[in-house]
Structure formats: C-alpha cells, structure tokens
Amino acid sequence: MLIAVIGDGRCSEQVAALAEAVGRELARRGAVLICGGLGGVMEAACRGAKAAGGLTVGILPGTSHREANPYVDVPIVTGMGEARNVLVVQSAQAVIAVHGEYGTLSEIAHALKLGIPVIGLNTWHLQQNGQERQDIVRAASAEEAVERAFALATP
Amino acid sequence: MLIAVIGDGRCSEQVAALAEAVGRELARRGAVLICGGLGGVMEAACRGAKAAGGLTVGILPGTSHREANPYVDVPIVTGMGEARNVLVVQSAQAVIAVHGEYGTLSEIAHALKLGIPVIGLNTWHLQQNGQERQDIVRAASAEEAVERAFALATP
Amino acid sequence: MLIAVIGDGRCSEQVAALAEAVGRELARRGAVLICGGLGGVMEAACRGAKAAGGLTVGILPGTSHREANPYVDVPIVTGMGEARNVLVVQSAQAVIAVHGEYGTLSEIAHALKLGIPVIGLNTWHLQQNGQERQDIVRAASAEEAVERAFALATP
Amino acid sequence: MLIAVIGDGRCSEQVAALAEAVGRELARRGAVLICGGLGGVMEAACRGAKAAGGLTVGILPGTSHREANPYVDVPIVTGMGEARNVLVVQSAQAVIAVHGEYGTLSEIAHALKLGIPVIGLNTWHLQQNGQERQDIVRAASAEEAVERAFALATP
C-alpha cells in the first residue's frame, strides 16, 4: 500500500502534529508514505512514519536529493518543479490532504481527475456553479483519515 | 503576449461560444493563445483565435500531434499526461479559465502557486477554513476576461 | 511541418553559421522550427529562421520565458530541466543535430527510441559491440540536412 | 546510497544474469536500487537485489503501478513516458549501464550532462569528431561495476 500525504511546505505546530499522526498511523498499518519530500506537512508526516518504523518516499521538485527533509528514505530527484505534484498523487493508491495551500490544491485536483481517492483533514472546499463538489472525503482525525484511505485505496 | 485558455475537454454549446469569443478577442488584440490542445473549451478557443487570424499553441498530453484539435497551429507533444497542465499555465503571462472540471482546477491551482494571474469565467470557487479565497479575478464576459488578462499579465 | 534543430548551448562561429543556415533553409521551405530555446546552436538556428520569415518555438528548461534567446517567437516554459529535451524531439517530425554535446546526444537517443528521424551534421557516432549503429542519417550541408529532414519526416 | 541500473526492457539470458548479479551486489553492499521498473535488465537487476534483501524503486513511464516488474518495492507512476528516464538517473548517485539500446543511451547522455558517474558493462561507445569520448567508466564484471559505482558516487 502506497499512500500520499500532501500539504503545505510551511505549517503551524498544530497542523504539523496532525500530519505527524497521519504518518505514524500509516506506518503502523504498513503503508509506504509518499510525499513531496520538503518541509512542513511533508516533513511532519515523514517524521511520524519513521517514528513508527515506516518507509518514506519524497518526490522532490529540485535537482538535488539534499533538499529532502531528513526523514525521507528514498528521495526521487525530478528537477520538474511543480509538475512533480502529479507524480506524488499518481503514484499513490489514496491521498490524504492535511490543510494545504495552492500546491496542495493542485494535487487534490490532479488526484480527483485521475480517479484517486482524496481524504481531507481540514483542507480545501470546492464549489462549482454555487454548489459544493463532494469528492473530497472528509475525516476528523488522523486515524479516521488513514482508515478511510485504506478503505478507499485503488487496487 | 502569450495567454492561456483553460477549460474542459467537453463542454456545452453555450460554454463553447464563450470560449470561442475569448479566443477571438485574444487574437484580435494580438496575443498568442496557448491551451491543452484538445477538444471542448480548448478547441472552441482555438477556433475563435484562428477566425481572427491569431496563432494557437496546443500543449498535448499524449504522444502524437494527431490528438490536437484542427485549430492548433503549433502542437507540442509532451507525452506527459496530466503533468502537461503545468506547462500550459507556466508558459502563459495570464490564464483565462472558462468553466472547467478538475483538470482545469489543477491548472488554476498551479497558476496561483506560480504567481500567474487567473481570470475566471464562471469557473471554480475555492474555500479554505470557511472563507472564500479571492485570488481568481472574476469576469462577466469574454471581452472583460481578455481585458483583465492583458491588464494583469506578468511581464 | 515542425522540425527540431538540436545542438549545444555554446558553439564556435563556424558551427553557429551552419546552424543559422539550417534555420534559414527550414523557414524558406515553410517549416516551423522547434528547439531548446537557449543560446549557441539553438539561437543561431532561430536567427536564421527569423531572417527568412519563419516561426520559431523554444522549449525552455527553466521557469521563465526570459531565458529564451531573442529569436524565439513562442517560448514554452517547462520548468522541467533536462526532461524538456524529450519534448523538443517528440514534437518534431524530424530532428537535425548540429554537432552537439551530451544534451544533444540525449535528444538523438530519445528521437531514435521514439522512431523520429535524426539527420546529423557532424554530430555523434554511436557504437554498440564494436559496430557503428547507422540510424543517424548523415548530411554534408545545411541544405542537404533540411532536404533529408523533409524527405524522412513522420506524417 | 541510491544507484541506478539501466538497460533494455528486453535482453538475452546472459545479459539478464549480468544485471541480476549487479542488483545482488548492490543490495549486498546496502545500496537502494533505482531503475525504470520494467522488464529485461530492469527486472533482472531488481530480482537480484530482492534476493539479497535490498530495496528496489521503479520509475515507471506509464500511468499504472501494475506495469512494474514483480521485484519493484516502490513503484513511482510518472505517466511521463520517455521523460521519466531523466528521473531515473537524476535520482541516482551513480549509474550502471548494462548493454542497452537507445533508451539506455538517452539515460547515459542525461547522466553525463548532469555530472552523474556512469559505469558501463558492455554498453555504448560514443565518438565525436572521430575520437572516442571516455566519460563512461568501463567495468568487466558486476562486482567491478558496483565497486566503481560506490567509489565514484556523488555525495
């Protein structure tokens, strides 16, 4: 099982604690964690996964593995900038979005376009023609998010 | 001036007419139109641009220039699938979104992340923490959208 | 007809003169020139094409259209670094290699893998198991290179 | 240590045995193996690495993790086609080329352009202006190739 955790490269301590809990729970249940490999939510999630003995993959935007956060086991150096976002979600069987800014929104959109389930922890709400689209599955806790990611993951 | 028109690969006649008017107006004002090169909004916008004597560029997701709509002058064959969306907006000095689905949403998000102005014609509304983000500049007509795109375009 | 000209970002005056002649001849025969958009062979070829009234496309590796040489009409901003080389050749119906270093070699290899004809002007020679592979079509002048590119171009 | 093994997607039993020995030796020495994730040399190298308890990463060209060979632990789904070759070598601290066709040649060229050491096991020879370029470090056995890859690996 390969699950992506997406979120902003800078975040509050509260959001980091949530992301860390997601990473820990993913590792505890045996999933490999994939993310963008940088700081903020990505680093917190990787730290959580490593604390629980998990494996972490970082799909980096730049041209050096040195930009990876210290909890990335496998840094993939894309040199592709923002286009690497597509690889993060396309490689995952489910995606967990923790808060997030426009980079995260791009990943949510790519995932939903590609038919990959997105679980949201206090993340974006999306409206079209005055109506909210309900494709992001909302969760209220790290445990619930991981539970739903496993339940909905593509085969 | 290089302006992107983004929107769904399938659309209603009403939306197509709007996209065509955007393409026509862009060409009339001398802009090169860049888009994803496929059908729906992309094709309508290219058709409009060609009718007004403009130049059109299609950044294609697949591996053959044959997938371009017939109004694309310069087909760029990326073979990159969804990741080509980043190239569409990153190459543009401003982006005009006409309605659109999740692919379009990914392009809006990438553009806003990259600091490229996005003009919206009846497109997505985005909420974070219960508040609407106001970064998409709303327009009410094709002419107003093009007007704003020229005014806000990055140098 | 869309033809790529590939070669090093820095080159001697002699090589530049050759590339310029290739660009001029391509434009004279009505082809759109596509290249990596930077200096050296790319700039010389674009200069030649513009002198003959042609259209030029530059597939840029970085994140700004400002890195394009001054003779690029349509700058495509990929932000993908070296991976943009694939787009240069995949978009072309034939490729003309003028001398070139390892970046050019990567483009030759991608083109041959993808089945796109490569015409060589004093470019790489490739050996496998002690035997030269003959897939690069050799030309002795700019005119001959363009002639062969048109003759072999994929439909 | 992250080392790439590159080579053709189809190969003789003899070449497969060589690739398998490279994979085994990499794992024995603690390196993570990265490759294009498909068959032939890639599959044989992964099989060798798994037999020695190593970790394997496959950077896939298509849009499904199902195209990975059965010995890939971490499939990265790029959907980028040939452009994924750049990611394979850019992520590695050294590259070992086992025979190989034009896809492999593109990876060798990208690696040398990027300054990543390339060790060759009976792979391409490259000539410019009648002279062989000596940038590929030749090895005569799987053990020697891995030895040299470790010695030359970028930090």
pLDDT in tens, A111-135: 999 999 999 999 999 999 889 999 9
Cβ contact A80–B82 (<8 Å)? no
- Distance, in Å, from the CA atom of D117 to the CA atom of C37, rounded to the nearest integer, reads 27
Nearest to D74 among A32, A65, A79 (CB): A32
Nearest to B63 among D63, D78, D81 (CB): D81
Determine how β-strand D131-132 pairs with β-strand D137-138: unpaired
- Distance, in Å, from the CA atom of D46 to the CA atom of D132, rounded to the nearest integer, reads 32
How many angstroms away from the CA of B134 is the closest CA of chain C?
25
How many angstroms away from the CA of A52 is the closest CA of chain B?
30
- Distance, in Å, from the CA atom of B6 to the CA atom of D147, rounded to the nearest integer, reads 51
- Both tokens assigned to B122: 């009846």
How many angstroms away from the CA of D17 is the closest CA of chain C?
18
- Both tokens assigned to B137: 């500049």
Residues with Cβ within 8 Å of D16's Cβ and at least 6 positions away in sequence, in order, are D40, D41, D43, D44
Chain D contact partners (≥3 CB pairs within 8 A): A, B, C
Q: What pLDDT, on the 0 to 100 scale, is given for residue D124?
A: 98
Q: What pLDDT, on the 0 to 100 scale, is given for residue C115?
A: 98
Q: What pLDDT, on the 0 to 100 scale, is given for residue C109?
A: 98
Instruction: Dump pLDDT digits (tens) for D97-126.
Output: 999 999 999 999 999 999 999 999 999 999
Q: What pLDDT, on the 0 to 100 scale, is given for residue D31?
A: 98
The parts of chain C modelled with pLDDT lower than 50 are none
Interface predicted TM-score of the whole assembly (ipTM), two decimals:
0.97
Query: How remote is the C-alpha of D18 from its chain's centroid?
Result: 12
Nearest to A91 among D2, D76, D90 (CB): D76
In DSSP terms, C94 is beta-bridged to C3
Q: Pick the residue from chain B with its C-alpha nearest to D63.
A: B81
CA nearest neighbour of A56 among A66, A45, A67, A65: A45
- Chain B residue numbers with beta carbons less than 8 Å from the beta carbon of D63 are 81
- Distance, in Å, from the CA atom of B83 to the CA atom of D153, rounded to the nearest integer, reads 30
Instruction: Dump pLDDT digits (tens) for A8-26.
Output: 999 999 999 999 999 999 9
Determine how β-strand C125-128 pairs with β-strand D125-128: antiparallel
- Chain C residue numbers with beta carbons less than 8 Å from the beta carbon of A79 are 80-83
Q: What pLDDT, on the 0 to 100 scale, is given for residue D107?
A: 98
Q: Pick the residue from chain B with its C-alpha nearest to C55.
A: B74
Cβ contact C102–D112 (<8 Å)? yes
- Chain D residue numbers with beta carbons less than 8 Å from the beta carbon of C117 are none
- Chain A residue numbers with beta carbons less than 8 Å from the beta carbon of C79 are 80-83
Q: What pLDDT, on the 0 to 100 scale, is given for residue D130?
A: 86
Determine how β-strand C118-121 pairs with β-strand C94-98: parallel
Range A79-93 average pLDDT: 98
Cβ contact A2–D65 (<8 Å)? yes
- Distance, in Å, from the CA atom of D99 to the CA atom of C58, rounded to the nearest integer, reads 33
Nearest to A91 among D2, D77, D86 (CB): D77
The parts of chain B modelled with pLDDT lower than 70 are none
Nearest to D79 among A55, A78, A86 (CB): A86
The band of D22, judged by pLDDT with boundaries at 50, 70 and 90, is: very high
The band of D129, judged by pLDDT with boundaries at 50, 70 and 90, is: confident
Exposed (0-12), middle (13-18) or buried (19+): which is D39, by Cβ within 10 Å?
A: middle
Chains A and C form CB pairs within 8 A to the count of 17
Residues with Cβ within 8 Å of D114's Cβ and at least 6 positions away in sequence, in order, are A63, C82, D89, D90
Sign of CA dihedral A109, A110, A116, A121: negative
Cβ contact D82–C114 (<8 Å)? yes
Chains B and C form CB pairs within 8 A to the count of 52
Selected for mutation to probe chain A from B84, B125, B129, B133 (highest A CB count within 10 Å) is B125
Res. A35: pLDDT tops 90: yes
Q: Pick the residue from chain D with its C-alpha nearest to C86.
A: D83
Q: What pLDDT, on the 0 to 100 scale, is given for residue B129?
A: 85
**Whether C18 contacts C121, CB under 8 Å:** yes
pTM score over 0.95? yes
Cβ contact C80–A81 (<8 Å)? yes
The SS3 call for residue C118 is strand
